[in-house]
Structure 1
Amino acid sequence: MKTSIQGQVFGIPIMKLGTKITETVKGKLSLGARILQVGGLKKVYKQLFSVTEEEKLLKAFQCYLSTTAGPIAGLLFISSEKIAYCSQKSIKFSSPNGELIRVRYKVVMLVSKIKRVDQSENAKKPSQKYIEIGTVDNFDFWFMGFLNYKKAFKYLQQAVSRV
């Protein structure tokens, strides 16, 4: 697989899949170096989201969140208490008073409020795999473009089954 850098989240490069393994390895090494510079994934997670004293970050994955406006690149964090996502780039929208505001797209789901984690794939392109997370209040979130889809799904299932 080839990986190329597609922007950054908090100084951490976001990868795009391709066909050359050497570029994938270079991208992963670059990602690791940047995470160390920021102070580690735990520090990045704590800066982005409200974290309790007993909460433990289990894993983080680069991926895309599927939205009606198209996929949004970012990081998916899996902790002992929540599943949280933050976009790579700020998104522009108009405030009620007409000002243009830029904010990062964030999603936070308490693990205790997740009713299912399902696998799915594009019927026309089976290599395009998705992970759907459904909450008890009937919201569905679709994540895709994982560098390691099976590992991401496994960690999500484990986090939800701990409750």
Structure 2
Amino acid sequence: MQTSLLHNLVVGTPVISATYDQFQKPVNRYLPGPIPQCQCSTTTSKQMRLRTNISETVKRKLTLGARILRVGGMENVFKQFFSVREGERLLKASQCYLSTTSGPLAGFLFISTDKVTFCSERSMKVFTQKGHMLRIRYKVVIPLKKIKSVNQSKNAQKPTQKYIEIITEDNFDFWFMGVFKYQNTLKYLEQAVSQAV
């Protein structure tokens, strides 16, 4: 893949953060919308659609699990998708969604002794300037030393929907939601960032 193509792929959006002292009132940060969920109804057609969605989800998860086993576990998945320096260790891997301008993107959040990374569960199509189609995975790489803050948040209307926000030193803002084992993942993330300083 050409280097120029990689530089053209957007992996985050810079934001300008304001503090409480600047405005003398709390700052409302953008929270991504909730992860799409199935609506249940008593009508037969909607119940059948719900069953189909559940069976498709279970099928996808089983296929994903088989793929992970075939590669040899999450550590090998991490090494397959990201360059790993000698001595770097994977601390935690968790399924989650990354908030993007196109909506939530399912994938894996990896926390290592050097970086926080995200890789989409599925590959997506991108086109080169010459019109050639490539299939790539959406990836984010954030060196631990470049993380300015890690914040936890939740949806005010639905407190069970929790988010992890990572802000980098150059004011890129990343939102992770639907994080599997949220508290445990947050603990590993905070420890990794504090030890990297």
User: Do the structures match in fold with TM over 0.5?
Assistant: yes
> Which ranges in structure 2 are unaligned for 5 or more consecutive residues?
1-53
Which aligned pairs between 1:83-102 and structure 2 lie closer than 5 A?
83-102=116-135
- In structure 2, what is the equivalent of residue 69 of structure 1? 102
Q: Alpha-carbon deviation of 1:5?
A: 3.2
* Structure with greater proportional strand content: 1
Q: Give the distance between the partners of 1:105 and 1:5, measured in 2 at CA.
A: 23
Q: Alpha-carbon deviation of 1:86?
A: 0.4
Q: Alpha-carbon deviation of 1:99?
A: 2.2
Q: Give the distance between the partners of 1:139 and 1:149, measured in 2 at CA.
A: 22
Tell me the alpha carbon deviations over residues 11-32 of structure 1, each in whole angstroms, 9 at most, x when there is no partner: 862xxxxxxxxxxxxxxxxx4x
Q: Which has the higher contact order (CA 8 A, sep 6+)?
A: 2
- In structure 2, what is the equivalent of residue 108 of structure 1? 141
Q: Give the distance between the partners of 2:137 and 2:103, measured in 1 at CA.
A: 15
Larger Rg: 2
Q: 1:100 to 1:59 in 2, by over 3 A?
A: same
> Which ranges in structure 1 are unaligned for 5 or more consecutive residues?
14-30
Tell me the alpha carbon deviations over residues 17-73 of structure 1, each in whole angstroms, 9 at most, x when there is no partner: xxxxxxxxxxxxxx4x75443212211111110000110110100000010100000
- In structure 2, what is the equivalent of residue 128 of structure 1? 161
Letter in 1 for 2:154: E
TM-score by length of 1: 0.79
Select between 38-47 and 92-101 the one with higher mean Cα deviation: 92-101
Percent of aligned pairs with the same amino acid:
56
Select between 145-154 and 75-84 the one with higher mean Cα deviation: 145-154
TM-score by length of 2: 0.66
- In structure 2, what is the equivalent of residue 49 of structure 1? 82
Q: Give the distance between the partners of 1:118 and 1:6, measured in 2 at CA.
A: 33
Q: 1:104 to 1:123 in 2, by over 3 A?
A: same
- In structure 1, what is the equivalent of residue 72 of structure 2? 39
Letter in 2 for 1:105: Y
| 1:5 aligned onto 2:58 | yes
Q: Give the distance between the partners of 2:174 and 2:58, measured in 1 at CA.
A: 24
- In structure 2, what is the equivalent of residue 141 of structure 1? 174
Q: CA RMSD in A?
A: 2.1
- In structure 1, what is the equivalent of residue 188 of structure 2? 155
Q: Give the distance between the partners of 1:6 and 1:145, measured in 2 at CA.
A: 19
Count of paired positions? 142
Q: 1:108 to 1:6 in 2, by over 3 A?
A: farther
Tell me the alpha carbon deviations over residues 63-118 of structure 1, each in whole angstroms, 9 at most, x when there is no partner: 00010100000111100000011001112222111222221000000001011110
Select between 48-57 and 97-106 the one with higher mean Cα deviation: 97-106
